[in-house]
Structure 1
Amino acid sequence: MTSPLAEFSACEVSDALIKLGVGSGGYLPDITMRSPAYDDLTVKLYGPAYTVQMVDAKDNTSPKPKKHFVDAAPSGSVVVIAAPAAAKNAVWGGLMTAGAKARGARGVVIDGRCRDLGEHRAQLFPVFAKGSSTLGQGGFTRPSALNVPIKIGQDLVAVNPGDMIIGDADGVVCVPADLVENVAELCRKGREVDERCMADILAGKGVAASFKLHRGK
């Protein structure tokens, strides 16, 4: 599966979302690449979101999935996990990566922590997370709802199943499914404008003059 957004960077996508009135720019704050490296500029993660809501392990009121959340991941999807904000444990480890990769998932985005970095990197599996931990999931957190709307970060950015996830060295962006085509068109136009600005700036015409000419400001 190829998305019309596959050729664009997370920054370009965020810029387009801002122009469409999405105030957050779709940015999922403070989530950065952990695998296959901390800053691999060749890595581009994209695919529809398959969402997982984690809860505190002591929560006896939230539902429990009938299937392991990794075993339910659709091929071609990006697993997006919302973990409790206070959790110090990892909600994703090396065995999860092995299972997700076997199912054809493209990568994982975690509003929380991961562990077993060496195993993810050995499998060249894209893992984006807020941090890492030595602690496993047992006794700390557990999966609750699968493929439901979730909220990411303190800003509570919405991620719905099927939304397009774009991740690279700059960060991770979520594009609402109904905006993908509009975002792609604005990204194409934005790239053309930026290319003209770059040419003029390199020619010595100055940033302000180039922006005014091509961006209108």
Structure 2
Amino acid sequence: MAALATQLATLENYSACDVSDALIKLQKIPAGDTARAGHLADLVPFSPTTGRNETTPNIAAPATTFQFIPKDTHPPAIATDNPDTYGFPPGKHWVDYAGDYAAADPSKAGSIVVIEQPEAQHCAVTGGIMATRMKVLGIKAAVVGGRVRDLRELRATRLPIWARATSTVGTNAEAKPGARNVPINVGGVTVSPGDIVFCDPLEGVVVIPRDLLGAVLDNLPKLTGMDDKAKEAVAMGMPVMDAFKKFRSPL
């Protein structure tokens, strides 16, 4: 098995759509559930460029997870029972823990911070100071399942940051950090610490379960090769269903 850094460099040559195509074939979806294929829906870049673009590179790295909760609720038991690993002992800001996963990871592949924010909140959970600290800690990107603010400051850090939307309101209005290093939910997709986060500035963000990374990489050349042949045949006049039948096959 290739080193993780080498695997991630290979992955970055593909698109988020390619990765989701592979996950559709590989993930086992419980009966009645909808296949999400790792896609974190409705997230867009806000730094270093606002909006989808083809000028910034793809980025892939293991996830460092943070779960935010409503400010008037108690943290989950895992955080209160073991604050040094999963919680936030007094006297230290949540973002100061952002580099811990990567520092302990023997792969030395870096990390992307992924944040869960409660649905329907209007405050931001990441702003200029947090982004600056993440940059100093060597974080490769931040993916916020919620809102951010201080866009000028975010862009000044050059840290790639994805989010659903923006706010002018600080975190303390509605939210607080509840747990870290735990599986989180971003728009219906579970992200566990160490899962591979793939940020494609044009197509979107996809999360690959860590144990499926090798299989995804094995399937990507086959899938993209089949699609290239089908696309070429359609451009030459072949009906789409005929092209699919001829060039696409189960893997």
Question: Same-fold call, TM > 0.5?
Answer: yes
- Taking the aligned partners of 2:237 and 2:145, their CA distance within structure 1 comes to 43
Deviation at 1:97, TM superposition (A): 1.1
Alignment check: 8 A CA contact 1:32 1:170 kept: no
Amino acid at match of 1:42: T
Alignment check: 8 A CA contact 1:89 1:136 kept: yes
- Taking the aligned partners of 2:22 and 2:131, their CA distance within structure 1 comes to 31
SS of match in other structure, 1:30:
coil
Q: Kindly tell me: are residues 176 and 137 of structure 1, through their superposed partners in 2, closer, same or farther at Cα, counting changes over 3 Å?
A: same
Mind listing any 5+ residue stretches in structure 1 that lack a counterpart? none
Mind listing any 5+ residue stretches in structure 2 that lack a counterpart? 29-34, 81-86, 103-109
- Taking the aligned partners of 1:79 and 1:108, their CA distance within structure 2 comes to 5
The percent of aligned pairs where both chains have the same amino acid is 38
TM norm structure 2: 0.79
Give RMSD over aligned pairs.
1.9
Decide which of 204, 208, 215 is 2:241's aligned counterpart. 208
- Taking the aligned partners of 1:78 and 1:166, their CA distance within structure 2 comes to 9
Name 2:41's counterpart in structure 1: 29
Amino acid at match of 2:94: F
- Taking the aligned partners of 2:75 and 2:207, their CA distance within structure 1 comes to 29
Question: May I ask how many residue pairs the two structures share in their alignment?
Answer: 215
- Taking the aligned partners of 2:21 and 2:191, their CA distance within structure 1 comes to 18
Deviation at 1:167, TM superposition (A): 1.6
Deviation at 1:78, TM superposition (A): 0.6
Q: Kindly tell me: are residues 161 and 113 of structure 1, through their superposed partners in 2, closer, same or farther at Cα, counting changes over 3 Å?
A: same
Alignment check: 8 A CA contact 1:82 1:111 kept: yes
Q: Are positions 1:65 and 2:88 aligned together?
A: yes
TM norm structure 1: 0.91
- Taking the aligned partners of 1:42 and 1:70, their CA distance within structure 2 comes to 28
Name 1:159's counterpart in structure 2: 191
| Range with greater deviation from structure 2 (15-24 or 174-183) | 15-24
Alignment check: 8 A CA contact 2:142 2:162 kept: yes
SS of match in other structure, 2:21:
helix
| Range with greater deviation from structure 2 (57-66 or 21-30) | 57-66
Decide which of 32, 47, 60 is 2:61's aligned counterpart. 47
Name 1:16's counterpart in structure 2: 22
Q: Of Structure 1 and Structure 2, which has the larger fraction of its residues in helix?
A: 2
Deviation at 1:25, TM superposition (A): 0.5
- Taking the aligned partners of 2:164 and 2:150, their CA distance within structure 1 comes to 14
- Taking the aligned partners of 1:216 and 1:159, their CA distance within structure 2 comes to 30
Alignment check: 8 A CA contact 2:65 2:114 kept: yes
